[in-house]
Structures are given as C-alpha cells and as structure tokens.
Amino acid sequence: MSIHPYAGKRVPKSALVNVPELISTYYTQIPDTTISAQRVSFGTSGHRGSSLVGSFNEMHIFAVTQAVCDYRKQAGINGVLFMGIDTHALSYPAQLSALQVLAANGVDVRIAKDSGYTPTPVISHAILTHNTNGQPLCDGIVITPSHNPPSDGGFKYNPPHGGPADTDVTDWIEKRANSILENKMVDLKKLTLQEALKANNIKEYDYITPYVEDLQNVIDLENIAKSGIRIGADAMGGSGMAYYTAIKERYGLNMDVFNDSLDSTFSFMHCDKDGKVRMDCSSPYAMAGLVALKEDFDIAFGNDTDFDRHGIVTKSVGLMNPNHYLSVAINYLAQNRPQWKSELGIGKTLVSSSMIDRVAQSLGKKVIEVPVGFKWFVDGLFQGKILFGGEESAGASFLRKDGSVWSTDKDGIIMTLLSAEILAVTGRDPGEHYKELTEKFGAPIYARIDAPASAEQCTILKKLSPDDVKESILGGEPIEAILTNAPGNGAAIGGLKVIAKNGWFALRPSGTEPIYKIYAESFLGEEHLLQIQQEAQAMVAKLF
C-alpha cells in the first residue's frame, strides 16, 4: 500500500467527519438484511460498521442488544451488566438505543455517571472484581470500534470471564440478532428512551475510583512518583480522558495530560498511512503529533479510543514498534515481579515477533503461541497460568503483583504506565532496553502488508492447509514448519504461517475489512525481509 500525501499530517478540514449527518443517518437508515454488508457480523472484536453505509444503525443495536439479553437468559447470567462507551460519535446514540432494550428486558445495568466514557479494560476489571465477590455473575458491553475512523461504530460483548467473547458466544449472538432483523423486530422488547432513562434497573456508577485505586496492585506507581520523571500522556480524545488526570492526582505523578477533551471528529489527529483518520496508537503516521514532542518528556504515550491499546514514545527511538515494546515488557516483568510463580508462561499471537521467543527462552519461560485475537489469552490470564498476553497490534495485559488476574481484555493503561515504571526503576527507557535485547539476540525487522481481497478470496485464505504450500525454501533457507493451527492451543489460525530459521511470514484475512494481511519478519536484514515478502506474495497469487 502506497503512502498517502496526507500521511503524518494534521487532518485537513475537508477530511473531518460530518457528525450531524452520521448521527441522523444512524436513526433514519434501515438496514437491508439481504445485503451481507448490512447484517450484524461479529469479527475479531465485535460488530463494527458505519451508519453512512447501513452497517451500524439503530436497528442493528436494538437487535444485537436483544440478542445479548436472550443469550444471558439461556446462559443463566443474571448479575449486573457493566456498560462502557468510547468517544466515537456513534457510541453515545448506540448506548441510548441499547439502554431502551436492556431496561425493557429487566437487565441490571451500570453506566458511567455524568454521561462519562469508560475504557474497555475498565469494564473487564469491573466484571472480574465483582465476580470474585460471590455475587450473581456479571458481564459487560463496550460500545466502541476501537481505533477505527470517526465514522465507525462498534459493539463488543464480554461474558463473565471479563474478556472478549469467544466465537461460540459471538456466533450465537450474531445469528440471533440477524434473525430479529429478518423477522421485522417482532421479538424486540424495548421501552421509550424517556422510560429507559428513568428505569430502576439502569443506574449510574463510578468506574474511575475503583480502577484507579486498584492500579497500585499491578503497577509500581510509588517508584514512578518518587523518580519525578516527566511523563506525557496523550489521551487522544478517547474514553480514558478522565482516567489519566485521576491517576496523576491520586499518585502524584509528574505527568502532563493532553488531548483530553471531547472531539468526535478527532481533528487534532494526524492522518494514517492511507490518509484516513484512524486513532491507531501504533502507527508512526497517526502518532506524528506525539512523536514531535518526545524531547519534552522522559517518556510519553498514547492510547486508541477505547484505551485497550498502547503507543510508547521514548527519547531514544521515538514511537516504539509494538513488538519491540512487548519484548521489553515481558523481559522486565519476568524479572521484577518476585511474587509470580516461576512456571508461568508467556502468551503471544503467532504473528508477533520471534524476539519474544528468544527472550522467553533466555528467561526459561514457555511460550504459548495462539491465533490472532486477544480472546485466546483469556483463560491463561483468568487462571493465572500466563504472566502476560500480548498481540502484535499493541494490545496486552498482565497479572497483578501477587500473580492474580487483573484484566482479561487488553489494557492500554497498565501498558503505558509500565513504560514509566521501567524507566523509573531501571533508569533506562524501553527503547534503550530493546537495544540491549538486540545486542543479545539479534535485530529482527518486522513488517505487515495489507492487500485488497474479495469475500471469496478471504474464504480461501481461511481454509488453507499445509499442503497448499508447494515450496520448500523461504528466504534462501529450508522451511522448518508450515502451520495452519497454532502450536500453543491447536486452534485454527484462519490463515497460514511459514517458518524458516531466520525468518517467517503469516497470512490471514482481516476480520473487519475486505483485505488480507501478510506479516513477515527477518533476523537477517531488510533485503532478506523483502525477499520473504515477495515469496509470500507469490505464494498467495498461486492460491487465487
């Protein structure tokens, strides 16, 4: 994909979303269920779409919320449902629609007080905290399309384990929601908005205080405060805006918080590689504004809109590659959490850097390699069997200091604060730590290529087998393994990974966009990486 002329530049006014049009279309556009793009579809992170193209409208939210209510009933879940929203323009209207249905179904709901916003990890934390107290099982809904453009909306369901719902749950909800749409909403129970907002089962809740108070049990905030390091926290106009301010005040951190007011056009952002407005805290183009401030702080960081991902900016390297930071975080945590059991494993997705494997081997830790999607780490974190679960797309979580579960969804807040802890405790920022790792284990080069793919082509890629690869050499080295199932849990990859001694590639279709992705890495340099990418593309061409 070529680099757009707007990449890394402030969003031009001409590219800003028309919020009134977006919201009015949400209420007036009626989805056509005979068009696949206008049906409810749960990808790797829930249902996403835009009101402008008929894929995220009020009828979708009515239907999917009723489906969640029906799922809860048949699953025996009757505790509190914690609901959070992010700052996308469609999130608040979607919350209001969902409340009409939840109120009518008698679900006991908690929403942020004062029409506030709630990060994804805070919902996970709330679910887990309440479920350990012996109360009726709680679950949650997060209305967010993550880092997607401002025109998008999203809807995620987190069952009682606190993490993203697995496919058996999302398939059930998706099927039920589409059935409700197809049957002209006859199974829908809803109140008027006025009735819902006055309903006794819809209550406001203080999400901020319990989460912020509990942070000291997962992050060494005392040492961060004592160090006096200058911290830059870019809230990126997201759902955690009020959280960084609360953390700063509660723990006395030397931290500047900015972009912490609502702007659903996200006009303060810089355009991503393709010229789109995308709150991707792992993109050097989208994060160009924060990178320009790196000399003003000892450590700086930002988060995507629902605060489940992290972007770390250091003086030594600027914006860190997510894989680099995951490697540093694992290496640091494994050596600085004395209460953790020695047998704890490390969770990584199979498209994350092999640097993690080399770090883990040096630590004597087992790597649990799983398919793409944070849901695969839920059980390991919940049961305290893995100390860390991380994705190449800058999403991760880890255990409390005492080795118990903190969150079973990605937590961008603890990952950003961890970067400050690393600097405060060691005197070196994460970029400097990664340089030390490359001196010990080599310096891998990692890249991802996105390419257009039709629905038919995506289906082909999902169903590949090792026999579909006829080649025996990758990047001049013998192919050591061809995987269509993850070695950590045996689950289907939904694509394919080809591995040689000093390089690998993986390909898989996107769960949310009409594209496929080629991930590749080399420990032998740029030319070798390019060779691997070219060979991977040639293999894909033969499949189509």
pLDDT, one tens digit per residue, over 116-162 is 999 999 999 999 999 987 778 999 999 999 999 999 999 999 999 99
pLDDT at 186 over 70: yes
As beta bridge partners, residue 450 has: 517
Positive or negative, the Cα torsion across 70, 75, 79, 81?
negative
The whole-number pLDDT of residue 1 equals 58
Helix, strand or coil for residue 48? strand
Nearest alpha carbon to residue 180 among 21, 33, 8: 33
146 is catalytic: yes
pLDDT at 44 over 90: no
The whole-number pLDDT of residue 135 equals 75
Amino acid at 195: E
For residues 101 and 103, what is the distance between their CA atoms, to the nearest angstrom?
Answer: 5
* CA separation, residue 500 to residues 85, 335, 504, 526, 533 (Å): 43, 30, 6, 16, 13
Amino acid at 354: S
pLDDT at 339 over 70: yes
Mean pLDDT of 236-257: 98
What confidence tens digit (pLDDT) does each residue in 466-488 have?
999 999 999 999 999 999 999 99
* CA separation, residue 376 to residues 4, 465, 511 (Å): 34, 21, 15
- pTM, entire model: 0.96
Contact yes or no for 221/244 (Cβ under 8 A): no
- For residue 499, how far is the Cα from the chain centroid? 26
pLDDT at 444 over 90: yes
Contact yes or no for 379/358 (Cβ under 8 A): no
For residues 123 and 128, what is the distance between their CA atoms, to the nearest angstrom?
Answer: 9
Contact yes or no for 156/144 (Cβ under 8 A): yes
The whole-number pLDDT of residue 294 equals 96
The whole-number pLDDT of residue 455 equals 84
Considering the chain, what percentage of its residues have pLDDT values greater than 90?
Answer: 92
pLDDT at 33 over 80: yes
- Out of 45, 146, 283, 353, the active site residue is 146
The whole-number pLDDT of residue 511 equals 67
Task: Report the interhelical angle of 412-426 vs 430-441 (nearest 10°).
Answer: 80
- Tokens 């994460």 belong to 430
Task: Report the interhelical angle of 58-75 vs 91-104 (nearest 10°).
Answer: 40
Mean pLDDT of 524-532: 97
pLDDT at 512 over 80: no
Nearest alpha carbon to residue 147 among 21, 52, 269: 269
| Domains of the chain, earliest start first | 13-209 (3.40.120.10), 445-543 (3.30.310.50)
Dihedral pair phi/psi, residue 155, rounded to 5°: -145, 120
Helix, strand or coil for residue 364? coil
pLDDT at 303 over 70: yes
* CA separation, residue 34 to residues 31, 182, 311 (Å): 9, 9, 40
Provide the pLDDT confidence category of residue 106 given band limits of 50, 70 and 90. very high
Residue 136 in tokens: 């009726």
